Chain A
Amino acid sequence: MKVSAEEVKHIAQLSRLTVPETEMQIFTEQFNQILSYADIMQKVDTTGIEPTPYVLPITNAFREDIAKPGVSHEAALSNAPAVENDGFKVPRVLE
């Protein structure tokens, strides 16, 4: 499987990352190098094998509906680069 520069651009956009035009080629090459590993896996014959999203045979791992205190307001915000009105301050977000 190979991706085009156009697809890399699209993925960058979905991730809200700016990739300079000049670096597009190198990213595309790197993407494709990584994807070539997946190609090895794609060649394995998996006919009749169930998909395995979960490796452990565990189901129904629940907890009861009990609320407990989390972290303090101050601790929660202590690693925020910027704080505004008790919130995590983020730059203007336009969709």
Chain B
Amino acid sequence: MIEGSMNNASNFVETVDNAFIFIFGISLFFLFGITIVMVYFVIRYRKSKNPTATHIEGNTTLEIIWTVIPTILVVFMFYYGWSGWRFQRDAPEDAMSIKTIARMWSFSFQYDNGRITDTLYVPIHKPISLDLQAQDVIHSLYIPAFRLKQDMVPGKKDIVWFESGKEGEYEIFCAEYCGLRHSYMKTVVKVLSQEDFDKWNTVDTTAVVVDNTELGVRLAGKAIMRKYGCIACHTSDGSKLVGPSYKGVYGHKVTVIRDGEEVEVVADDEYIRRSIYEPNAEIVKGYSKGLMVSYKGQVTEDEITQLIEYFKSLSNN
């Protein structure tokens, strides 16, 4: 349906597009057919041309014909739609499973070997099963080029699967409205050849060697923030998104709301850890509660240490 229609970007493209074209063709036929007849009647039987109308109250045969024919057509449409859809729900047993997490306002993908990325990498010609988990509100994983969409409902596990037959990069959108930055909740899926995928899967490009230079600290910090999707809500340049910026926070006083009361705290190591593991215990004044979920069990202690170094470096100058 989009450019490069009838391709094999995923195994669903052909059946979905066929069903769509079938329905679209019939629809177009009826739309033009009825419109042409109607316009003809309006011109042919206008008052100046046909001053007296013929009295007709109805015609049972016609009524039966135009009840039965559309009924048959829609049953075919239903069948096309259903037969194209029914195998979307059951992934093959040998499918490669990737844990897919959605939260306001980013996706992240977790592979069996523990690797976490913000971009989905998949090998070509291999069934991929995405284990869907939403952490806060309903999101919907939508890959237009694959004709694939599945809502991600918090507290409800679901899967969606596909097999791509064409290398390339395809957009992933969130299709269910999920708040302020809904239209920015997007990423891409990269379909690689098996070799490229294996290469990517063994060399961890997201891990950054921590050295003590400022550059090293910043690269590591940025990589972690990308990995967990922090940058969907927080910036490192002082600009305000849904959450506060990291710039100039560490070591400075912050006014927070704790149990409904305003208190001033110093942003130290413990504060950073609390903010990540129990984000709703203290809310920086001027921001909303309940938007961030706890990252306990996801962000490791090591990573927190690296983040603290990173925040320090953002407060120094």
| Same complex | no
